[in-house]
Structure 1
Amino acid sequence: MKKSLIRIFGVAFVALMVVFTLAGCGTTGLGTSDSGSGSKAEKKDPSKLNIGVSLSTLNNPFFVSVKKGITNITDKNNTQVEIFDAQNDAAKQSNDIEDMIQKKVDILIINPVDSSAITPAVKDANDAGIPVICVDRSSDGGEVLTIVASNSTKGGEMAAKYMLQKLGHNAKVAELQGIPGASATRERQKGFDGYAKSKLDIVTKQTANFDRAKGLSTTENILQANPNITGIFAQNDEMALGAVQAVKAAGKKILIVGFDGEDDGIKAVKAGQMAATVAQKPVEMGQLAVQAAYDHFTGKKVEAHIDSPLSLETTASLNK
């Protein structure tokens, strides 16, 4: 019995000494590291910041508007900013971000091409102690300071509800989907399909990569295989505008709903070529992202998700 007690006290003493030793080294291994996007930032004036930006593509007017929102703010505050066009290439985007990490930018603003493929780059930024802000699309992994985005799931629901209202129950419709792996693609599909279930007959869903030319060619194929569809939901305006061309060439009358509210999309809705678009505010998105960066470096709290508003713009509403 005495030997057992001695052994117990001995083990306890050794354990206690280990705790004190680790405490003296500055960590017990029970907390999180001070590095990464969640760390407390050194305070910096906007004029002293160097912001790195990676946008999925500048071949889409929506992201040109996001860029405009970013530069509107950075120019006014003399903030150094470097903007990279990933050209819808996930590998190029990762390489661009790695370059910015090596340049030791203060913060990264990223609009991912692919929400899964971007994860390693986000984690590398975390390891380098560089905060990350995502715009319009999220990262599936790593830590981000915040995501600035509209509620894409809600937007998909808005589109489905409008199509149901205009076309009626069990109308045959098609869905043009964005880049596989992009969070916006998943969320817009979730919202549209979820609301349309048992209400609309989605006869086909095909990928057109958020691209106008692919929207055109994909819609041509859809019309050949499904000549009786009465509606098309495109997950962005670029694909919707491609669908407009295909429908016109086929001599058909099909209700087309887009998503984004970019200038060309709004013009097409106003002209009656598209019936509606779920409109975002890309310039505001860019501005909100930069403001979140400024807030972080002035010690203000940054919410984990910053909402950008949505509105359904129809031919009727735009011609009031």
Structure 2
Amino acid sequence: MAVAGTLTAALALTGCDRGGNTDLGLALSTMNNPFFVGIKKGAQAEADARGLHINITDAQNDPTQQINQMETFTSQNVKAAIINPVDSDAAVPAVGVANRAKVPVISLDRGVNGGTVGSTIASDNVAGGRLAAKTLAESLGGKGKVAFLEGQPGTSAARERGRGFEEGLRKYPGIQVVARQPADFDRTKGMDVMTNMLQAHRDLTGVFAANDEMALGAAKALGGRSGKDVQVVAFDGTPDGITAVRNGTLTATIAQQPELLGKQAVDWALKAAHGEKLPQSVKVPVVLVTRKNAATFDGG
């Protein structure tokens, strides 16, 4: 028993990544989206590899739920918390819960517009938006009328992708954005928004949707035109999105790496728990997926 006690004490002193005392909390905005399911998978795999217990919750796109979930994490004495905000402003009170409990916070995929956050782990959304603009413009030969399906208002990801897309299009004066509207990163809403846009703009030749789910909804509304006389560029690189690129329904998707995002969030949360000084942001690269290289990606 004395030997067992000595071993237990030794493990407790070796640091967070050996398991033992350390638990993490991960508050996801939703799990009703393949991208966030991928983040969950990556985070869980990394936690398992390190022998950690991680409590992963689903806010179902309700920012109030994230406040409650952060309260649960602090009551569980987690060493660090990770939040994937439903809304960058509305997440501030949730972060405040952790700040008051002196629990380090890492923001994942979307930034938080207040409170103290150790680091934000996210894809390079601005660069991805620029790449989407370039890809769509080149697929249209530098001219055409396009629609922009924006993401969920209030999220940094939606703002940054939109900013990058607008910046990228400045190089292509022949491309005209004739319609833009949020569809909340949702497939059904993407279909509804695209249906309404088509009533007013039957001569559309291109679409940029700020995630795969909206793009797939738009493709359904476009029917046989999608990927043919209407080029559709998406963002995320989910299995369904990549399959649609392979079969020609989508022209391309800007692929994030959700499992890598989840893995890195756990890694940086552990660093925060150790009290390490962290960079303000960590950018994970995005990758262009077209029909030529789609087969090399998971989900293809």
Task: State the TM-score, normalized to the length of structure 1.
Answer: 0.83
Contact 1:44 1:297 in 2 (8 A): no
Question: CA-to-partner distance for each residue in 1:65-109, whole Å, 9 max, x for gaps?
Answer: 000000101112221111110111122222222232233322111
Question: CA-to-partner distance for each residue in 1:114-138, whole Å, 9 max, x for gaps?
Answer: 0010012112211211111111101
- Gapped runs of 5+ residues in structure 2? 1-12
Give the residue type in structure 1 aligned to 2:266. V
Listed as ranges, the matches of 1:167-206 within 5 Å are: 167-197=140-170, 198-206=173-181
The alpha-carbon deviation at position 269 of structure 1 amounts to: 0.5
Contact 1:43 1:298 in 2 (8 A): no
- Gapped runs of 5+ residues in structure 1? 1-41
> Percent of counterpart pairs with the same letter?
43
Residue number among 17, 38, 48 corresponding to 1:65 in the alignment: 38
1:75 maps to what in 2? 48
Matched, 1:315 2:288: no
2:7 maps to what in 1? none
Structure 2 distance, partners of 1:90, 1:123, is: 13
Q: Secondary structure at the match of 1:316?
A: coil
2:93 maps to what in 1? 120
Give the residue type in structure 2 aligned to 1:127. R
User: CA, structure 1 residues 99+296, in 2 after alignment: closer, same or farther (shift >3 Å)?
Assistant: closer
Question: CA-to-partner distance for each residue in 1:277-302, whole Å, 9 max, x for gaps?
Answer: 01110000000011112223345443
Give the residue type in structure 2 aligned to 1:245. K
The alpha-carbon deviation at position 274 of structure 1 amounts to: 0.2
Residue number among 260, 272, 281 corresponding to 1:296 in the alignment: 272
Structure 2 distance, partners of 1:290, 1:319, is: 29
Contact 2:121 2:261 in 1 (8 A): yes
Matched, 1:139 2:115: no
Structure 1 distance, partners of 2:63, 2:143, is: 38
Contact 1:247 1:253 in 2 (8 A): no
Contact 1:236 1:259 in 2 (8 A): yes
Structure 2 distance, partners of 1:279, 1:51, is: 27
Matched, 1:232 2:203: no
Structure 2 distance, partners of 1:44, 1:115, is: 32
Matched, 1:211 2:182: no
Task: State the TM-score, normalized to the length of structure 2.
Answer: 0.88
Matched, 1:160 2:136: no
2:16 maps to what in 1? 45
Residue number among 282, 287, 294 corresponding to 1:306 in the alignment: 282
Structure 1 distance, partners of 2:110, 2:211, is: 13
1:33 maps to what in 2? none
User: CA, structure 1 residues 184+233, in 2 after alignment: closer, same or farther (shift >3 Å)?
Assistant: same
User: CA, structure 1 residues 300+95, in 2 after alignment: closer, same or farther (shift >3 Å)?
Assistant: closer
Give the residue type in structure 2 aligned to 1:132. V
Give the residue type in structure 1 aligned to 2:97. D
Structure 2 distance, partners of 1:274, 1:247, is: 11
Structure 2 distance, partners of 1:193, 1:296, is: 35
Give the residue type in structure 2 aligned to 1:45. C
2:124 maps to what in 1? 151
Listed as ranges, the matches of 1:93-104 within 5 Å are: 93-104=66-77
Highest Rg: 1 or 2?
1
1:260 maps to what in 2? 236
1:269 maps to what in 2? 245
How many residue pairs align between the two structures? 279
Contact 2:47 2:53 in 1 (8 A): yes
Question: CA-to-partner distance for each residue in 1:153-199, whole Å, 9 max, x for gaps?
Answer: 11111000111111133410001111110000100011111222444
Contact 1:43 1:297 in 2 (8 A): no
Structure 2 distance, partners of 1:52, 1:182, is: 21
Give the residue type in structure 1 aligned to 2:104. P
Contact 2:128 2:164 in 1 (8 A): yes
